[in-house]
Chain A
Amino acid sequence: MLMVVFGVIMIVGILAGARLSWIPRESRFRKNVQYALLFTLLFVLGHQLGSDDAVAASISQMGFIGIFIAAAGMSGSFLMVLLLRTRFEKERKGPADD
C-alpha cells in the first residue's frame, strides 16, 4: 500500500513540477519546508530510537553493519555499471573492426 502511495506522490509531484508554470523553479520557501521536515523527521526518529532500550543497546553494532552494507552496495553498483559500460563500448567498436 505504502509503495503505491509513494509511487503516486512521486508521479504527481514530477508532473506538477513539469506542467504547472505557477510553481516557481527555485523556491526558498520549498527548500526551508524541506529542511524543517527533514530535521523534524530526524529528531522524531532519534527520539524513537533513544526510547527503545533494545535498539539503543545495539546501536554500535547496527552502525557497523551499515558501514559494511554501504561498502558492499557501492562496490556492487560500481562493478555492475563498469561491466555494462565496457560491454556497450565493445559492442560499439565491434562493427568498426570488421
Chain B
Amino acid sequence: MIKCMLLCVSVGFATGRLGYLQELASFSSTVIIVCLCLMTLIASIEMGKKDFLKELKQAGWKLIVYSFATIAGTLIMVWLVSPLLPLTAKDALVAASGMGWYSLATGLVFEYSPSLSVVTFVYCLLREITAMFLIPILWKRFQPPELISIAGSAAMNPSVAAAAITGDHRLVFYGMVSGGIVSVCVPIMVPFMIAL
C-alpha cells in the first residue's frame, strides 16, 4: 500500500517535472478539494459503521482525555522545537496538526503552501510507519494508551498490526477509539492552524 502511494506521488512528480499534463494545473485545486471531501465522508461513514459512537461511550472519559493529550503533546513538542527548524512556529504547527492522516492533511496544507505539504506528507507517513515498528518494540515496557499515542490519527492500522504481533488485543480497542477521536479533530485542526 505504502509502495503504491509513493509510486503515485513519484509518477505525478515526474509528469509535472517533465511538463506533461500541464492542463491539470488549472483545475487541480478543485480535484484536491473534491477528493478530500469524498474521502472524509467515506472515512467517517466507516467510523460510524464500526460503532465508533458506541465504543466512545464505553471507552470512558480517560481514553478521551488520552486522545486529546495525544494532540496536545504533538503540538506542544513541535512548538517547542520549532525554533530549531527553518520554518515559522505556525508552519510547524500546521504540518504537525495533520497527526498522521497523510491524504487529508497533505491536501489541506497544499492549498496553503505546496512545500509545506511535502513536510506534512513525510511527517504523516513516518508517523504511521514508525508506530507499526515502535509499538511492538515498546510493548513490554509501556501501556497501550501511550503506545497508541505514537501513531496519532493513524492508530487503527498500527494497532491491528501490533496486536497481531504482541497478542495484546487491548491495542486494537485503544487504536480504534483514540485514532477515531484524533481523526475527527484533524479536518478541523489543520484549517484552524492555517487560519491562525
Contacts and interface: CB of A to CB of B under 8 A. Distances in A.
Interface of A: 1-3, 5-7, 9-19, 23-25, 30, 33-34, 37-52, 54-56, 58-59, 61-63, 65-70, 72-82, 84-85, 88
B115 A66 contact: no
B131 A74 contact: yes
| A-B complex: 6 closest residue pairs judged by Cβ atoms | A17-B48, A46-B12, A76-B77, A50-B16, A13-B44, A66-B122
Interface string B64-89: 01100111111111101100111100
Q: Is the interface of A mostly helix, strand, loop or mixed?
A: helix
Contacts of A51: 16-17, 19, 22, 25
Given A34-B42, A48-B16, A69-B95, 10 more contacts: A6-B188, A16-B48, A45-B106, A46-B16, A55-B115, A56-B17, A66-B122, A73-B127, A76-B78, A82-B146
A65 B99 CA distance: 15
Given A14-B44, A81-B145, A40 B16 contact: no
Contact of A78 (B8, B73, B87): B73
Interface of B: 4-5, 8-19, 21-22, 24-25, 28, 31-32, 35-54, 62, 65-66, 69-78, 80-81, 84-87, 92, 95-96, 99, 103-104, 106-108, 110, 114-123, 126-127, 130-131, 134, 142-143, 145-147, 149-150, 152, 184, 187-188, 190-192, 195
Nearest to A26: B49
B66 A81 contact: yes
A14 B28 CA distance: 28
Contact of A14 (B53, B117, B190): B53
Contacts of A9: 37, 40-41, 44, 187
A55 B81 contact: no
Contacts of B76: 76, 80
Contacts of B72: 80
Contact of A66 (B24, B28, B95): B95
A47 B32 CA distance: 12
A6 B191 contact: yes
A44 B32 contact: yes
B153 to A, nearest CB: 11
A47 B13 contact: yes
Nearest to A73: B74
